[in-house]
A and B are shown apart, each in its own frame.
Chain A
Amino acid sequence: MLNLVQKDSFRNGIHPPEMKDETSHLAIRRFPFAPTLVVPLSQHLGKPASPVVRAGQEVTRGQTIAEPDGFMSVAMHAPASGVVRKIALAPGIGGNMVESIYIEPHPASSQEVDDGVPCMLETSTPDEIIGAIQRAGIVGLGGAAFPTHVKLKAPEGKTLDTLIINGVECEPYLTTDHRVMLEQTADIFTGIRYLMKATGARECMVAVEANKPDAVRKLRKVCPPDLPVTVRVCPVKYPQGAEKMVIRSLLDREIPSGGLPVDVGAICVNVATTAEIGRLLPRGRGIQERVITIGGPGVEKKGNYRIPIGTTVRYALEECGASKDISRVFLGGPMMGPSVSNLDIPITKGTSGITAFTDAQMDEATGHKKIYACIHCARCVEACPLFLNPSQLGILAKKEEYERMAQEFHLMDCFECGACSYVCPSHIPLVQYFRLSKKMVRKLSAAK
């Protein structure tokens, strides 16, 4: 079955330990409602949604509680039936405060959701599907949280020919996409039908990394014969799941520097996002929960959970029996997941997992080891999937030559996969420098 693994993949990349065995066999379980759910109005890139409920108002699970404010915005839905306590600031992942709707679920609130106005595949136009996706509050569930409906329409003069469903999931520890592919296989193909109709793509490929053979088998078995879908197996390599990398691996096309997938006629949608489209649109529902992996050595009851949006990290960790000596908690996987400074931040649509490390793992973390000078060993150059020169960029970052980094060494192309920091024997926090440098470049160009 897996002899069809693509020989051709993107160049460079790294092989961190996968750490997926602890959760990949565990079926998705439902999560109880926390005493308070905090639904931020901005869980996506773009404009925050505008609330349509007031403090004290009763809401039912699945009800729209915030409407999209413009095209670069999506709706929010009530994760549980209960009372809106207040609309106030709540802590966000970046240490910032975000306007959020606090909902107090009724005791013994049901997990049932009422269906809304369905968007039927056969009778809807592409624009109606795109509108329905926006109203369902769907954003990229892989982590970027980019509003999905925005990328479905090719700009004037460009055509989309290939829809790529991204089930690569190359981050260590995370197995949500893996479980979704096994358990929501039919939803995925329904979602593909919606997406193909909305985008006008003629062909669809589902990309799966070779370490999920059961998902590949299941997808190939369930795939309806009338759909032009192929399931493609990619070699296990980080960051295979990055948009640029997966398109290069499957189509042998390179997204131009500074460009978008549509520039090479492709669109990339995360597999869990696709499954949600397939599950929600026919019922007229919106996203009020998502599947996340809660794992890492600091968690006892590791697993994949369908968790209400707005559950705080603290509640999630306590329910899963987090050990008392957890020392670092991050949302998503260890390569790109941001670490949280406050356990009271809510899980949002872009959260693919909660991983908790204890002191024992921190010895391996960047920032905990002695930093040596760069010895030009070239490991970062061989790891960077975009063929940048992290060694040179790191030296320039230290000298604060941000503009030169951007102009001469393509700093702004870096999508912060962290492969350079991972391999650096001098333990130089390269990608960390680059994050900062990118911010500085944006600041400098805004000042001009």
Chain B
Amino acid sequence: MSKLQKFLEIGSSPHISSGASVDVIMRNVFIALLPVCVFSVYAFGIAALLVLATATLSCVITEDVLCRTTGKPSTVGDWSVAITGVLYGLTLPPDLPLWMVAVGGIFAVGVGKFMFGGLGCNAFNPALVGRAFLQAAFPQAMTHWSLPFADNRFSDLPGSILAFPFSEPVYDAVTAATPLARMKFEAIQAENPELLWGLTSGSAGETCAVLIFLGGVYLVARNMMNWRIPISIMLTVSIITWVFMQIDPVTYPRPAFMLFSGGLMLGAVFMATDMVASPITNAGCWLYGFLIGALIVVIRFWGAMPEGVMYAILLANAVSPHIDNLIRPRVFGTGKGAG
């Protein structure tokens, strides 16, 4: 009688899933970053290519080695460390000595991610942890900016790049101040088109606002990024800046300059939106974005440094769990809604 004899599998419902997967999300973030990387190499030449490759490889290898030495399966396959590596590379000066790049990469993954427990547990954006470490360890190298679109960028390597580990890098290329530095120390504001199209100097991947923005649009369209975070950051920065510009247009820049200069776009779109280190509710994301925006303005206007995106995001990362504790969704059938 019984024709059906196969062993049945039992499992708790649901028996179907949406098909979404962490590695797919991470791969898409990686894809969204590719145009930014390509532009970076186009603008800064082989040096940027070497910096990006070293950054990515150092992060990926660090994670793989740490997983293996601690007897865990390697988590390189989920692509999250590749994103950390690329993002970290994009925040660095394009002529940074490669040994520094590697050291920062090891620190980013080892301390910023692995020490906290790996994927899903990092309190801070690991890429920014790596950059913050370099900023503290090598303040001079981290504020040396090469000229974009130099004629020899595809033929010659800047001497600094291959500096021997732990030696003082020698810079042969012309130094170029970033728009933010010029604003801070010389009160000169760069024009919008230069900032939007990335014709200025700066970190390897922060200069071209348009490509970063498009990457963000791609991720938002695929429901892989909470748009509220970048929008909240940009709105906050714009509004505060606008108010101060009304008070004193000589000292304070125009909002568009604030938005498109320095690392703001890269930070707002790709760094602050690190899901692990940002709040889980939408209301929390608005508050988190506001916090980052306000901190950016405070550091840029009144801090000693020209740029403050990195510290603003790291500080907000630290506050993020508290935002989740503070802002909880009203559970259905409780509070005002009940009855």
Q: CB distance A422 to B18 under 8 Å?
A: yes
Please report which residues of chain A, range 391-448, place their CB below 8 angstroms from some CB of chain B when the two chains form the complex: 391-392, 410, 413, 418, 421-427, 429, 431-432, 435
B-side contacts of A429, CB under 8 Å: 12
- Determine which residue in B4, B16, B25, B282 has the highest number of CB atoms from chain A within 10 A of its CB, and name it: B16
Whether A424 lies near B278 (C-beta < 8 A) is no
Interface size range on B against A: 35 or more
B334 neighbours in A (Cβ, 8 Å): 256-257, 410
Residues of A within 8 A of B18 (CB): 14, 16, 422-423
Q: Is the CB of A256 within 8 A of B17?
A: no
Chain B residues 110 to 149 lying within 8 A of chain A, measured CB to CB, are 117-121
Contact call B9/A427, Cβ cutoff below 8 A: no
Asked if B19 is at the interface (CB within 8 A of a chain A CB), the reply is yes
Contact A375 B13 (CB under 8 A): no
- Contact B13–A318 (Cβ < 8 Å): no
Bound Cα distance from A263 to B282, whole angstroms: 30
Cβ < 8 Å to A, chain B residues 1-42: 2-4, 6, 8-25
Closest to A376 in B: B275
**CB closest chain-A residue, reference B224:** A377
Is the pair B120, A372 in contact by a Cβ cutoff of 8 Å? yes
Q: Flag if A337 contacts B15 (CB, 8 Å).
A: yes
Q: Is the CB of A365 within 8 A of B15?
A: yes
> What is the CB-to-nearest-CB distance from A377 to chain B, in angstroms, rounded to a whole number?
5
In the assembled complex, the Cα of A387 lies from the Cα of B275 at a distance in Å of: 19
A-B Cβ contacts below 8 A, count? 189
Give Cα A341 to B3, complex, Å. Answer: 16
- List of B residues within 8 angstroms of A421 by Cβ: 14, 17
Q: Is the CB of B4 within 8 A of A376?
A: no
Q: Would you call B280 an interface residue if the criterion is a C-beta within 8 Å of the partner chain's C-beta atoms? A: yes
CB pair B332–A413 under 8 Å, yes or no, is yes
Contact A426/B22 with A326-B6, A357-B15, A366-B11 known, Cβ cut-off 8 Å: yes
Kindly specify which of A192-200, A225-233, A287-295, A378-386 makes contact with the partner chain: A378-386
A17, B332: Cα distance in complex, Å: 26
CB distance from A390 to the nearest CB of B (A): 10
Q: Interface on chain B toward A: helix, strand, loop, or mixed SS?
A: loop
Interface string of A314-346 (1 = CB under 8 A from B): 100110001011111110001111111111000
Q: Establish whether residues B332 and A386, one from each chain, have CB atoms under 8 Å apart when the complex forms.
A: yes
Chain B min CB distance to A332 (Å)? 8
Q: Are the CB atoms of A339 and B9 closer together than 8 Å? A: yes
Contacting residue for A335 out of B13, B78, B281, CB 8 A:
B13
Q: Quick one: which of B6, B22, B332, B339 contacts A324, CB cutoff 8 A?
A: B6
Q: Kindly state the separation between the CA atoms of A379 and B330 in the bound complex, as whole angstroms.
A: 17
B13 touching A339 by the CB < 8 A rule? yes
Once the chains bind, are B8 and A369 in contact (CB under 8 Å)? no
The answer, among A256, A318, A342, for a CB contact under 8 Å with B339, is A256
A264-B275 contact given A328-B9, A341-B8, CB 8 Å threshold: no
- The distance in angstroms between the C-alpha atoms of A234 and B258, with both chains bound, is 47
Q: Which bucket holds chain A's interface residue count?
A: 35 or more
Q: Which B residues are in CB contact (< 8 Å) with A325? A: 6
B198 to chain A, nearest CB (A): 30
Tell whether, in the assembled complex, residue A375 and residue B275 are in contact, meaning their CB atoms are under 8 Å apart. yes
Cβ of A367 under 8 Å from chain B: yes
Nearest residue (CB) in A for B80 is A375
Q: Looking at chain A's contact residues, is the secondary structure mostly helix, strand, loop, or mixed?
A: loop
The answer to whether B13 touches A334, judged by C-beta atoms less than 8 angstroms apart, is yes
B13 touching A244 by the CB < 8 A rule? no
Q: Closest approach, in angstroms, between the C-beta of B51 and any C-beta of chain A?
A: 27
Asked whether, in the complex, the Cβ of A362 is within 8 Å of the Cβ of B17, the reply is no
**B329 on the interface (CB 8 Å rule)?**
yes
Within 8 A of A (CB), among B279-312: 280-282
In-complex Cβ contact of A376 among B6, B9, B120, B338 (8 A): B120
Interface centre among B9, B15, B330, B333 (most CB of A within 10 A): B15
Does A1 interact with chain B (Cβ within 8 Å)?
no
Cα-based distance from A272 to B337 in the complex (angstroms): 30
Q: B9 contacts which chain A residues (CB < 8 A)? A: 327-328, 339, 362
Q: Which residue of B lies closest to A372 (CB)?
A: B22
B322 within 8 A of A: no
- Within the assembled complex, what's the spacing in Å between the Cα atoms of A364 and B19? 7
> How near does chain A come to B268, taking the closest CB pair, in angstroms?
18
Instruction: Mark out the residues of chain A between 73 and 120 whose CB falls within 8 Å of any chain B CB in the assembled complex.
Output: none
Q: Mark A1-44, 1 if CB is under 8 A from B, else 0.
A: 00000000000001011000000000000000000000000000
Q: Is A388 an interface residue (CB 8 A)?
A: yes
Decide: B13 and A338 in contact? CB cutoff 8 A. Answer: yes
- Cross-chain contact B14 with A431 (CB below 8 angstroms): yes
Residues of A within 8 A of B281 (CB): 378, 381
Interface centre among A326, A328, A375, by most chain B C-beta atoms within 10 angstroms, is: A375
Q: Which residues of B contact A435 (CB under 8 A)?
A: 12
| Complex CA–CA separation, A255 to B337 (angstroms) | 9
The answer to whether the Cβ of B84 comes within 8 Å of any Cβ in the partner chain is no
Is B332 a contact of A257 with CB atoms below 8 Å?
A: yes
CB <8 Å contact, B338 and A377: no
Say yes or no for A373: interface residue by CB 8 A criterion: yes
Provide the residues of chain B in CB contact with A367, threshold 8 Å.
11-12
The verdict on B331 contacting chain A, using a C-beta distance below 8 Å, is yes
Residue of A nearest to B5 (CB): A324
Closest residue of A by beta carbon distance from B73 = A370
Whether A335 and B14, one on each chain, are in contact in the complex, defined by CB atoms closer than 8 angstroms, is yes
- The answer to whether B67 has its CB under 8 Å from any CB of chain A is no
A254–B338 CA distance with the chains assembled, in angstroms: 5
Known: A329-B8, A391-B280. A377 touches B13 (CB 8 A): no
| A376 pairs with B14, CB closer than 8 A | no
Bound-complex Cα distance A423 to B19 (A): 8
Contacts of A16 in B (CB 8 A): 16, 18
A3 to B337, CA, bound (A): 28
Interface assignment of A56: CB less than 8 Å from any CB of chain B: no
CB < 8 Å: which of A17, A387, A418 contacts B14?
A418
Ranked nearest first, the 3 interchain pairs of A and B with the lowest CB-CB distance are: A373-B120, A418-B14, A425-B20
Q: 14 A-B contacts, Cβ less than 8 Å apart?
A: A172-B16, A244-B332, A326-B8, A334-B14, A355-B15, A376-B276, A378-B226, A385-B332, A387-B329, A388-B329, A422-B16, A423-B18, A423-B20, A435-B12
Extra pairs beyond A355-B15, A435-B12 (17, CB < 8 Å): A254-B339, A255-B333, A257-B332, A258-B333, A324-B6, A326-B6, A328-B15, A335-B16, A338-B12, A338-B13, A343-B8, A364-B19, A375-B120, A377-B25, A385-B332, A386-B331, A422-B18
